Amino acid sequence: VTDLPRQPIPTMVNAFDPNTIDELDDELGDTIRRRDKVLGPGYRLFYRRPLEVVASSGCHLTARDGSDYLDVYNNVPSVGHAHPRVVEAVNRQMGLLNTNTRYVHKPLVDYAERLVATFPAELTRATFTCTGSEANDLAFRIARYETGREGIIVTAGAYHGLTNTVASFSPSLGPQSPLGPNVRLIAAPDALRSPTDLTTTMKARVEQAISDLERHGYGLAALYADSIFSSDGVFADPPGFLAGMLDAVHAAGGLYVADEVQPGFGRTGENWWGFQRHGIVPDMVTIGKPMGNGLPIAGLVLREHVAQSFGRDVRYFNTFGGNSVSIAAAHAVLDVIEDEGLIAHTALIGRRLREGISAIVGESSRVAEVRGAGLFLGVDLVKDRESLEPDRELASTIVNELYDRRVLISASGPGGNVLKIRPPLVFDSADSDRFLDALADVAGSVLT
Ligand SMILES: Cc1ncc(COP(=O)(O)O)c(C=O)c1O
């Protein structure tokens, strides 16, 4: 059914083990027990000792006991936790009016114009949702309607969201979450483990998946690709390789959906959008997470021709998607990115951070690669450099050792072995120094 054996992908890296709850302090243990009793059963907590947070600012989180944690992980508050301009914009709008897209409200139109202006000229229209999952779900409805076909291609460790449809093409949810019969997986662009010309290789993988979809009568509706392959283990280089995938998709009359929920809004540095590093123009782009700095707002940006018949024939209304308060937050986010020069900052501080990390861990036989773009970095940990066998335990040890030094990161990839370093974009030199000091300390004790 797929071009890859279905690997037993762990459902979540760096999860708290509920069997160790008795080792926590009484108050924390008590809150977690109450949480486990009342919340739905699917929730998970991070870290060996979960973190209880009460306040935040910039790249810093304050724990219940008043201690300061350095946030080197969260990409939603990308202009900084509790940024005063976002707080002010949201408060002001909430006190004035919060309405939906069935009323004329200029800030919505202003925002849509501002947003599409950050995209290549071919992408001209914006539709608003509340979550990235909804945006990916809508993209599939459109792709199916426009192409009259059903097939979807994603990478083997992809996560695109939680609706029934989108979960059916999110293999990182693990073997218990069924994939659709119309879904084909291609291997992620891991140039370390299969060193090839990635543009050609990825194109060939997509072509093979398309043939299989056609043979089974599905045909290709859409390929979805996270432009930095976050849950596959962070793959950014070499710039340009997405072009092969796009060519194969277009040759088969399918649509290319760039999932920018993770890399979007400047995270990869130098550009607004991760796909721009690769010099391509997708047919649809899904966006979310940092868009409202924590207020739920996400969306879909489209080429003019893509949704013509869908837009004509199918009504779209989303009660909260594009509401005035979320739009106010989204405006403030763009203001901060522009006024604080955050995209250039991300490129600069990201480069320095990567060099700093490489200087500390780059020589270790347990580190196969330090990679990424802007402020989305991955450190690929292995048992040894010959076998390149992923070392999940080592990643977990480093994540939790850093946590003991009040520094927050996590891990990603199907092997759970890639340190995921992805701070808010306002990460500054002092934050970077503090992170590198903690990493050097941990590396000294656990890396050989
Ligand atoms: C690449 C990617 N796409 C889509 C989503 C889904 O977004 P949301 O959680 O807002 O539904 C996520 C969430 O983690 C994501 O990482």
Nearest CA to ligand 1 atom 3: 160
Q: What is the pTM of this model?
A: 0.96
Distance from C-alpha of 399 to C-alpha of 211, rounded to nearest angstrom:
41
Does the CB atom of residue 131 touch ligand 1 within 6 A?
yes
Query: 């000091």: which residue's tokens?
Result: 437
Does the CB atom of residue 132 touch ligand 1 within 6 A?
yes
390: which DSSP letter? B
Neighbours of 64 (CB within 10 A): 14
Closest CA to 142 of 346, 286, 272, 322: 286
Model pLDDT for residues 357-395, shown as the tens digit of each residue: 999 998 999 999 999 999 999 999 999 999 999 999 999
Q: Helix 429-446 to helix 342-361 angle, to the nearest 10 degrees?
A: 20
Distance from C-alpha of 10 to C-alpha of 286, rounded to nearest angstrom:
26
β-strand pairing of 376-381 with 418-421: antiparallel
Query: 């999940």: which residue's tokens?
Result: 392
β-strand pairing of 60-63 with 53-57: antiparallel
332: which DSSP letter? H
Neighbours of 275 (CB within 10 A): 27
Does the CB atom of residue 133 touch ligand 1 within 6 A?
yes
Token pair in block for residue 430: 């002092």
What's the pLDDT at 11? 61
pLDDT-derived band at 13 (thresholds 50, 70, 90) equals confident
Please choose from 74, 76, 133 the residue to mutate so as to test ligand 1's pocket, defined by most ligand atoms within 8 A of CB. 133
Model pLDDT for residues 72-104, shown as the tens digit of each residue: 999 999 999 999 999 999 999 999 999 999 999
Distance from C-alpha of 124 to C-alpha of 157, rounded to nearest angstrom:
30
Closest CA to 412 of 372, 383, 353: 372
Q: Which amino acid is at 81?
A: H
Query: 């949702």: which residue's tokens?
Result: 129
Start-to-end Cα distance in the chain: 42
Token pair in block for residue 348: 């600069």
The answer to whether residues 303 and 123 touch, using CB atoms and an 8 Å cutoff, is yes
Distance from C-alpha of 411 to C-alpha of 408, rounded to nearest angstrom:
11
What's the pLDDT at 1? 39
Does the CB atom of residue 171 touch ligand 1 within 6 A?
no
> Going by C-beta distance under 8 Å and a sequence separation of 6 or more, which residues neighbour residue 319?
100
Neighbours of 115 (CB within 10 A): 21
The neighbouring-strand residues paired with 255 are 222
What's the pLDDT at 169? 98
Q: What number is the average pLDDT over the span 182-200? A: 95
Closest ligand 1 atom number to CA of residue 288? 10
Region of poorest pLDDT, from 37-51, 132-146, 239-253, 277-291: 37-51
Nearest CA to ligand 1 atom 16: 262
The answer to whether residues 288 and 131 touch, using CB atoms and an 8 Å cutoff, is yes
Model pLDDT for residues 286-343, shown as the tens digit of each residue: 999 999 999 999 999 999 999 888 988 999 999 999 999 999 999 999 999 999 999 9
The answer to whether residues 287 and 264 touch, using CB atoms and an 8 Å cutoff, is yes
The answer to whether residues 207 and 246 touch, using CB atoms and an 8 Å cutoff, is no
Please give the mean pLDDT across all residues of the chain.
95
Does the CB atom of residue 371 touch ligand 1 within 6 A?
no
Three-state SS for 78? coil
Q: Answer yes or no: is pLDDT of 2 > 90.
A: no
